[in-house]
Amino acid sequence: MPEESTVINMMGKRKYILVFVVLILLAVLYGIKEYNRKPTDLSKVNPEATISAVALITSFKENEATANKTFLGKTVLVNGIISEIDNENDTLVNVYLGDSTLLEKVSCSMDMTKSEEYKKLKQGQQISIKGFCTGYLQDVELNRCVIFPQKNK
Amino acid sequence: MKIKILFFILLLSNVAKSQQKLYTKNGSITFTSKAPVQTIEAVNNKVLSVWETATGNIEFSLLIKGFQFPKALMQEHFNENYLESDKFPKATFKGVIENSKNILFTNDNVINVKVNGLLTMHGISKQITIPAAIKIKNGEVSAMSNFIISLDDYAIKIPSVVSESINKKINVQISIPLFKPLTK
């Protein structure tokens, strides 16, 4: 019965093609999703290191290469006192953490999707900021920073 | 008499300015790659620059990881595959402004200059000359520059699979909104 076997063969082929098409579709969908992925919102990321602003600055000042190995490209939670707030027409907000004994600061570029939260910040305030460490220039630089919610005592 | 005093003050401030350093921590550098498939643009708003006005010596430095892309995947490829920012976290430029003595800081004006210097990134240094425009308005100094660099010059390899997505000639735009006097 050659005809019957051809029919079975074709059905098998169809199934195979269907699975193949579905797989390709999934791959394409995944590709589109990956391509359009936005940089991660750091408020949803657990910090890989927690440190005070002064200790962070000191570690970069003492040995930049070692500090880079520890902090570069990591999400870091930094505790410190706000020494300055730089607000460029609400399009860029930069919060500097540090103390008066150090010329260098931790310079936190804030995540501007949450710009409303930065209006209440004040100089001299104790704060915890989570940010992505991009390295050390004159200051220790953190990007995409978010305010880490303080626990109520 | 009043005019004399004013003149004297102007003279003094001029002398002071000619010896000072100007700096910014908030310069921005934007780069653009225009290719058939897509245009990629990334910006770094934390460019450090120090300019010694007496000599015309000027330096820029920035952190490669500080470039922000609209899409995360682009940023990851840029850092991990192309610029290898774990290995080479910084890019620097050290140069001299040609004929910088001609820059008048007292008058409102725009002056076009050439800057010669060494651009270092991805572990490779190249001598380049870039055009720049320096603007003085109400005593405030700002600067702009636009130039093109070639990825091949800095051994930045783009796989052939994405050659239609990334242009090897990258347009670089520098904008320094305000050079502040450096006080010690």
Q: Which CATH architecture has domain A42-147?
A: Beta Barrel (2.40)
Find how far residue B66's CA is from the centre of its chain. Answer: 14
Chain B contacts of A37, Cβ < 8 Å? 71-73
Q: Structural domain boundaries of chain B?
A: 21-181
Q: What is the CATH number of domain B21-181?
A: 2.40.128.110
Q: Which residue of A has its CA nearest to B71?
A: A38
In the three-class reduction of DSSP (H, G, I as helix; E, B as strand; rest coil), residue B8 is classed as helix
Tens of pLDDT, residues A23-82: 999 999 999 998 888 888 999 999 999 999 999 999 999 999 999 999 999 999 999 999
Token code pair at residue B112: 């076009």
pTM over 0.80: yes
CB nearest B66 (choices: A35, A86, A141) = A141
Tens of pLDDT, residues B118-164: 999 999 999 999 999 999 999 899 999 999 999 999 999 998 888 89
Token code pair at residue B114: 């050439």
β-pairing, B109-121 vs B90-97, is: antiparallel
Q: How confident is the model at residue B74 (pLDDT cuts 50, 70, 90)?
A: very high
CB contact under 8 Å between A37 and B68, yes or no, is no
**Residues in a beta bridge with A126:** A81
Evaluate whether ipTM surpasses 0.85.
Answer: no
Which of A143, A144, A145 is most worth mutating to test chain B (most B CB atoms within 10 A of its CB)?
Answer: A143
∠ Cα A143 B180 B62 (to 5°) = 35
Q: Structural domain boundaries of chain A?
A: 1-37, 42-147
Distance from CA of A38 to the nearest CA of B (A): 5
Q: How far apart are CA B135 and CA B139, in angstroms?
A: 10
Distance from CA of B182 to the nearest CA of A (A): 13
CB nearest A138 (choices: B45, B48, B71) = B48
β-pairing, B140-150 vs B124-137, is: antiparallel
Of the candidates B168, B162, B135, the residue with the CA atom closest to the CA atom of residue B150: B168
